[in-house]
Amino acid sequence: MQPTRVQQRAKFLRSLQLVPAVSLFASLSALGCSGGGVGGNTGGTPTGTGVGGAASGATGAGATGAGGGTGSGGGATGGVPTECTTTTNPGRAPVRRLTRFEYNNTVETLLGDTTQPGNSLPSEVLGNGYGNDADKQPVSSFLAEQYGIVAEDVAGRSAATLLATAAPCYSTATVDTEEACARSFIETFGARAYRRPLQPAEVDELLALERVLRAENTFEVSLTSVVETMLQAPDFLYRLEFGTPDAANPSLLRPTGYEMATRLAYMLWGSMPDETLVTAAASGELSTAEGVRSHATRMVENVDRMRPVVRYFFDHFLPLNTLTDLARDAVQFPTFSATIGGLMREETQLFLEYVIFQGPGDWPSALTAPYTVVNDQLANFYGIAGVTPGGQWEVAPVDTTKRLGLLTQGAIQAGTTISNFTNPVRRGVFLLRNIMCVDLPDPPEAIAGSITPPDPASRATGRERYSQHSEDVTCRNCHGVMDPPGFALENYDAVGLWRDQENGVTIDASGELPYLPAPFSGPIELVTQLAASELTQNCFAENWLNYAYGKTLGREDTCTQATVETAFAQSGYNVKALLLALTQTDAFLYLPPQEQL
């Protein structure tokens, strides 16, 4: 039976223990199920709710509607457990290295280098799905070597401009004044590169390096080499946090003002702190939750600075990276081209930006918006009339019998589709895993080996092609849960266009999902229920938590997670409020005590 909201909350809090789903397969034979979309791990969504608990509902009678699964008002049903409010629970805060995304943004802010030199660094580990998992940042020889190569290039490129602005004394320096000039350069540039003022001893050490280099090189070279050095220093590449005792409770550690400025800057803007944050750090404004909130508010309201992080997040949260060069059969899909795929990605990104920063602002609205953002080319593709010619993007209403919100957009439908044929399993898994954070097990090895997708020509509709899943008890346990939401999206073809029929047969897009309160007749009812589900909201928050804190949430983050989810719910699931809430947790405002060897 469907778990109640409270039960779900309880399960949620038990967090990592929720993987009984594997047992579903315990008795399975080696029979293969056709055409999974579940093979392989794409990283990303850690635990939320296991399909195991739900599967019994799916196979049992009267799975839906019954029980306590109704009512949508209970967003924060569970609220924040008492133990979370009476103690401070910072959780783990492993040291984070700049990702390539952050490295690029940082050298742009620091040195005006817009060449994205960080792209020459080796791959991050996918880890938490956002490539920024601090527990998965190994240092290979290749990485260390590339840091050196990239630093030399960046320093060389920016030297002239940098020295003219940060070391004006450089051009007129004499043998007698060089050292003082170098010292002042190290102090001013160093404070920006290290995101904090340098200690006198640190200045001395860098100056000593500069003097050694100067003995064999020109002054320009020795100063530029210092820049090259700083760009490889741990103080630049890593977000080092040592903290300072909390004034109110000295047994607790808080990030210093500068460390907090850095936390805010990278979390919200994906780059180093701006002048305002640096000033705030120096004046102690960032030593209270209110001070942090006030600056976070200022930052969240700056759409232009928020855009890179928001785009990066959604590029990883949704299947958007895949769209820019999507290939489809030109005969079957004559109006589709790779350009359209790229426009779909832009549609979704602009739509989300509009909803979050100009429109209603809440996640359920993003999932149920009766409009999208298109230009004329994309509008023609979709068949949306009345869009101004000329390529500019505008908000346009959609036919709400066929489309409603994010999940019905072409980007999502095409982005979750294998080649020229829709795969309901893949789409269903996407909704469950990525949008609702339901923990789905991969098919076990015994079965996985023999999985082959059904012949696209075998049956008329997707539901029929994948009927083995409902006929074969081996498959039904899990696919009975995974497939129905995918079937509900069968009205969208492989390029995301609406279709009523497939091969002359009317598509049956009805179904039910044990996590949702009622059966749905098609995609519109499905997304409407998804948008009202607390699982969906919590999943969105969980993804932001993972991204923002650069780790995979663990058991010790239960309180932080509950705090953020509660604040998110209380705001009516406002996305900007969620981002602010991320800055108000124990995890963000405090540091754990230093781990001992």
Partner 1 sequence: MARFRLNRRDVLRGAGSIAIGLPWLEAMEPVGTAHAAAPTVAQRFLAVYQPGGNVMDQWHPTGSETGFTLSPILAPLEAVRSKLLVLSGLDMKSAVGEQHQAGICALLTGMPQGTAGEFVTGPSVDQVIATIASQGKPRSSIEIAIRWATGKSHGLLHPINSMTFANDANASPVPPRLDPADIFNSLFGGLQPGDDGEATANVQRKLSILDFLDRRYASVAQRLGASDRLKLEEHLTRIREMEESLRTLGTPGGACAPPEFVETPDYDPTSGRNSADDGSIQDTSSDAAIPVVGKLMMDMLVSAMACDLTGVASLQWSDTEAKHTFPWLNLSEHHHYYQHDGNFRPVECQQIATWYSEQHAYLLQQMDAIDMGGHSLLDESVVFFGSEISHPPEHTKTDMPFLLAGGGGGLRGGRWLQYESQSHNDLLIAILNLFGDTRTTFGDPSYVNGPLSGLT
Given 28, 289, 418, 532, the residue binding partner 1 (CB under 8 A): 418
Q: How far apart are CA 447 and CA 544, in angstroms?
A: 34
The span from the CA of 168 to the CA of 98, in Å, is: 30
Is 74 a residue that touches partner 1 (CB under 8 A)?
Answer: no
Q: Which stretch binds partner 1 (CB under 8 A): 274-282, 390-398, 405-413, 452-460?
A: 452-460
Among candidate residues 398, 416, 397, 400, the one with its CA nearest the CA of residue 485:
416
State in angstroms the smallest separation of the CB of 131 from partner 1: 6
Minimum gap (Å) between residue 512 Cβ and partner 1: 27
CB 231 within 8 A of CB 193: yes
Closest to 359 measured CA to CA, from 575, 584, 198: 575
Q: How far is the CB of 284 from partner 1 (least distance, A)?
A: 23
Instruction: Say whether residue 246 binds partner 1 (CB under 8 A).
Output: no
Which one among 83, 112, 242, 279 touches partner 1, defined by CB under 8 A? 242
69 vs 341 by CB, closer to partner 1: 341
> From CA 43, how far away is CA 26, in angstroms rounded?
24
In the complex with partner 1, which residue's Cβ is closer, 238 or 357?
A: 238
* Among positions 80, 448, 460, 532, the unique one binding partner 1 when judged by CB under 8 A: 448
We find the least distance from the C-beta atom of residue 151 to partner 1, in angstroms, to be 9
Q: Residue 178, Cα to own-chain centre: how many angstroms?
A: 47
**The one segment of 72-80, 178-186, 237-245, 431-439 that binds partner 1 by CB under 8 A:** 237-245
Tell me the per-residue interface mask from 95 to 114 with partner 1, x by CB under 8 A, - otherwise.
Answer: x-x-----------------
Minimum CB separation of residue 555 from partner 1 in Å reads: 16
Closest CA to 552 of 78, 11, 212, 129: 129
Select 73 or 138, whichever has its Cβ closest to partner 1: 138
Closest of 57, 28, 39, 33 to residue 426, by C-alpha: 39
Nearest Cα to 348, choosing from 300, 303, 283, 413?
413
Q: Is 245 in the site for partner 1 (CB under 8 A)?
A: no
Q: Which of 77, 109, 120, 400 binds partner 1 (CB under 8 A)?
A: 120
457 binds partner 1 (CB under 8 A): no
Choice from 123, 177, 276, 506 touching partner 1 (CB under 8 A): 123
- We find the least distance from the C-beta atom of residue 534 to partner 1, in angstroms, to be 26
Longest Cα–Cα distance of the chain, Å, equals: 89
Beta bridge partners of 438: 49
Size of the site for partner 1 (CB under 8 A): 78
- For 194, left (φ over 0), alpha (ψ -120 to 50), or beta? alpha
Residue 581 CA to residue 588 CA, distance in Å, equals: 10
CB of 466 to partner 1, least distance (A): 16
Which one, 125 or 473, has the nearer CB to partner 1? 125
Closest CA to 523 of 422, 409, 432: 409
Residues in 503-562 that interact with partner 1 by CB under 8 A = none
Q: Does 119 bind partner 1 (CB under 8 A)?
A: yes
CB of 116 to partner 1, least distance (A): 11
Q: Would you say the C-alpha torsion 183, 185, 190, 195 has a positive or negative sign?
A: positive
Q: Which amino acid is it at 151?
A: A
List the x/- string, 151-180, binding to partner 1 by CB under 8 A: -xx-xx--x---------------------
Our finding on whether 329 is near partner 1 (CB under 8 A) is no
Torsion angle of C-alpha atoms 377, 379, 383, 384, degrees rounded to 10:
-150
Find how far residue 326's CA is from the centre of its chain: 22
Residue pair 575/568 in contact (Cβ under 8 Å)? The answer is: no
Interface of this chain with partner 1, residues 175 to 234, rule: CB under 8 A: 205-206, 209, 212-213, 216-218, 221, 224-225, 228-229, 232-234
Which is closer to partner 1, CB of 290 or CB of 329? 329
The nearest distance, CB 160 to partner 1, in angstroms, is 11
Which 376-415 positions form the footprint of partner 1 (CB under 8 A)?
A: 415
Work out whether 140 is an interface residue with partner 1 (CB under 8 A). Answer: yes
- In eight-state DSSP terms, residue 383 is T
Residue 28 is a binding residue for partner 1 (CB under 8 A): no
Using CB under 8 A, which of 450, 503, 506, 521 touches partner 1?
450
Q: Which of residues 567-596 bind partner 1 (CB under 8 A)?
A: 594-596
DSSP E strands: which ranges in 179-267? 238-239, 244-245, 253-254
Q: Which among 581, 565, 546 has a CA at the least distance from the CA of 127?
A: 546
- Is residue 349 near partner 1 by the rule CB under 8 A? no
In terms of CB distance, is 175 or 457 closer to partner 1?
457
* 382, HSE (Cβ side, Cα atoms, 13 Å): 30
Shortest CB 526 distance to partner 1, Å: 22
Q: What backbone torsions phi and psi does residue 371 show, to the nearest 5 degrees?
A: -145, 170
Residue 322 interacts with partner 1 (CB under 8 A): yes or no? yes
Instruction: Pinpoint the alpha helices (H) of 329-472.
Output: 338-357, 363-368, 376-382, 410-415, 424-429, 445-448, 462-465, 468-471
